[in-house]
Amino acid sequence: MAIASTSTLIFSCAKPDLRPIPSHFRSSSPSPSPLVSQFRSRSLTPDPISLSGLIGTGLVAATFMAAGPDGTAMAAVDSLQLSEPENALSLPTWAVHVSSVVEWITAMALVWKYGERKGYESWKGLSWGMVPLLGGALCACTWHFFYNAESLEVLVALQGALTVIGNITLCIAAFRINKSTSNMETSEEP
């Protein structure tokens, strides 16, 4: 299912370009038909990322098809797994954790840049108000990285405290933004 949908996605991205080829770009060698020489087509994989995805999909499909129904391919995959505790996070869960932290840092930077460009100091305060919540996210990632070790349970309490502090600082920052916006609106009225 996944292999078929991936290859469908890769192949459906290519669209033919049916514009006529200018005469100065045509080759002097005879072409198989006049219709083929008059139209150009793009490659099915115009960029290296699509090509690598297609090759990777093909290799995975070839591996599982060559293994046959006896399940030797699954045995090969099982032998590659590391021994981790049962409470270890899965790869998709780690992807969510890490991407959330990266997204939060990006949001902080964009809010700061917006405040600088527009001259709104209160928006920079919003960026500072986001810092405790980032600390809480890093506490959670650290605790999970060490397989929820009992010796690091203080991180759970710290994460909870930083979440409360972060919610308060965001509330204060939102109040300051609202106050500065309403002050600007009243100063603009005649």
pLDDT computed for residue 173 by the predictor: 98
What local confidence, expressed as pLDDT, does residue 71 receive?
55
Average pLDDT, the chain: 77
The single-letter code of the amino acid at 88 is A
Report which of residues 117 and 21 the model is more confident about: 117
Please give the Cα distance from 69 to 41 (Å, whole number): 40
Q: What's the rounded mean pLDDT across residues 164-173?
A: 98
Interval 54-81: pLDDT, tens = 676 666 666 666 655 555 555 655 666 6
- Asked if 126 and 173 count as a contact pair (C-beta separation under 8 A), the reply is yes
Q: What is the pLDDT of residues 172-182, one digit of tens each?
A: 999 999 999 98
What per-residue confidence (pLDDT) applies to 62?
Answer: 66
Measured distance between the N- and C-terminal CA atoms of the chain, rounded to whole angstroms: 65
Cα distance between residue 180 and residue 123, in whole Å: 10
Q: Say how far apart CA 34 and CA 26 lie, in whole Å.
A: 11
pLDDT digits (tens, 9 = 90+) for 76-110: 556 666 688 888 999 999 999 999 999 999 999 99
DSSP per-residue letters across 18-77: -PBPPGGGS-SSPPS-HHHHHB----S--SHHHHHHHHHHHHHHHHHHHHGGG-HHHHHH
Q: Model-level pTM greater than 0.75? A: no
pLDDT at 162 over 50: yes
Q: Provide the β-strand partners of residue 39.
A: 20
Mean pLDDT of 39-61: 60
